[in-house]
Amino acid sequence: MAYKKKTKKIKRKVDAVVAHVKATFNNTLVTVTADNGDVLLRCSSGKLGFKGSRKGTPYAAGQVATVLAKDMIPFGVKTLEINMQGPGSGREAVVRGFQTAGVNITVLRDVTPLPHNGCRAPKKRRV
């Protein structure tokens, strides 16, 4: 087999990014993408070492935001849009975490999917 020369990883410079926050009752997932949708960074409260029910707490979500804000520094990020999805308690904590880290937030958007009476509800329970 021939030796393959490794290509040098390119340092990207991005001015504006979008943070997609999925806050469930059990966990908080945050993905930072460029404007065109390329994933730059991602983190969750489970990745930071929180286990069990502590993953869904606002404190864990705030820690996720501070870690991602620190990792965004080499990209040269100036502005941040936040898309929040889900009913979890980490929604506001992520926003507060980005603000305390010094990131300029331009847009807060709620993209939680709402049903337009699509699926039929299960039958009533008889006890």
- In a 13 Å sphere around the CA of 12, the CA atoms on its Cβ side amount to 14
Please report which confidence band the pLDDT of residue 32 belongs to, taking 50, 70 and 90 as the band edges.
very high
From CA 99, how far away is CA 66, in angstroms rounded?
Answer: 9
Per residue in 95-120, pLDDT (tens digit) is 999 999 999 999 999 999 998 988 89
Tens of pLDDT along 48-89? Answer: 999 999 999 999 999 999 999 999 999 999 899 999 999 999
**Contact status, residue 60 vs residue 90, Cβ threshold 8 Å:** yes
Cβ-proximal residues to 86 (8 Å cutoff; 6+ apart), any chain? 21, 22, 23, 24, 112
* pLDDT of amino acid 115: 86
Provide the pLDDT for residue 1: 62
DSSP letter for 53, please.
G
How many angstroms separate the CA atoms of 60 and 73, rounded?
A: 21
Q: What residues are paired with 104 via a beta bridge?
A: 79
Quickly state the pLDDT bin for 93 (edges 50, 70, 90). Answer: very high
| For residues 35-49, average pLDDT | 94
Sign of CA dihedral 10, 38, 34, 55: negative
Ordered domains of the chain (ranges, CATH): 16-110 (3.30.420.80)
